[in-house]
Amino acid sequence: MPLYKSLTVNKNTKVLIWKIEESFNQLKTNILLTDKSQSRLDGMKSDLHQRGFLSVRHLLKEVGYSDADLIYDEFGKPHLKNGKQISITHSFTFSGLIISDDKQPVGIDIEMQRDKILKIAHKFTPIKEYNTIANHDALISKLTIVWGAKESLYKIYGKKKLRFLENIYIEDFKFSDKKTTGEIRYNNETTSYKIQFLEFEGFTCTYAYDN
């Protein structure tokens, strides 16, 4: 399947989402990988991870880049060689990226909506704040948005030092707003970001960009 969704965030920023329905061989067609990327691909034991990896390369092609244009720093954060900002995500049968011409960082996350999030919610958000949500599906939905928003901000920071519970704050929101704001609070500094979210086929995509 070609591109699943393409969203214009603002004049400088785009989000692209791919639904992974192709076989490994179909996704491998017309994709040229660097030796390093080929080695990474060969080392993946899961077919789903391999196809997710290749689908991201198709998303790169959609915005005019190749695998060789993508580099990773020592923390594993992706960068484009030309200095444009990028963030990448993959979850089961969907992958996505956000790319911006601005110099300000961006972050994206896709998550499957699962009951499992109830077991870990206390690790990333004050769970008592959700006591008024009686509907089970709505609770799963909201927690998944909050997790994805925090994951997006974690990717923006990119240095693996942040704690979701203490250092990343997400402003409360209504589902109908499809947006909120978030803050990274670390080392006596606070930086704020805009966050948008959408739900599709049992998945949640959140993305964050400079406020």
pLDDT 10s digits, 20-53: 999 999 999 999 999 999 999 999 999 999 999 9
- pLDDT at position 134: 84
pLDDT > 70: percent of the chain: 99
Nearest by Cα to 90 from 25, 139, 46? 46
pLDDT digits (tens, 9 = 90+) for 115-170: 999 999 999 999 888 888 889 999 999 999 999 999 999 999 988 789 999 999 99
| Cβ neighbourhood burial of 2 (10 Å; 0-12, 13-18, 19+) | exposed
* Section 182-210 average pLDDT: 96
Average predicted confidence (pLDDT) for the chain: 95
109-210 falls under which CATH superfamily? 4'-phosphopantetheinyl transferase domain (3.90.470.20)
- What CA–CA distance (Å, rounded) separates 144 from 127? 13
d(C-alpha 68, C-alpha 48), whole Å: 22
Cβ-contact 2, 62 below 8 angstroms: no
Instruction: Give the pLDDT score at 20.
Output: 97
Kindly report, as residue ranges, where domains of CATH 3.90.470.20 are found in the chain: 3-103, 109-210
Residue-level pLDDT at 129: 85
Q: What is the pLDDT of residue 128?
A: 86
Is 1's pLDDT higher than 70?
no
| pLDDT reading at 2 higher than 80 | no
Amino acid type, 160: K
In percent, the amount of the chain with pLDDT more than 90 equals 90
What is the reported pLDDT for 161? 84
Pairwise CA distance, residues 131 & 64, whole Å: 46
Tell me, which fold does domain 3-103 have in CATH? Ribosomal Protein L22; Chain A (3.90.470)
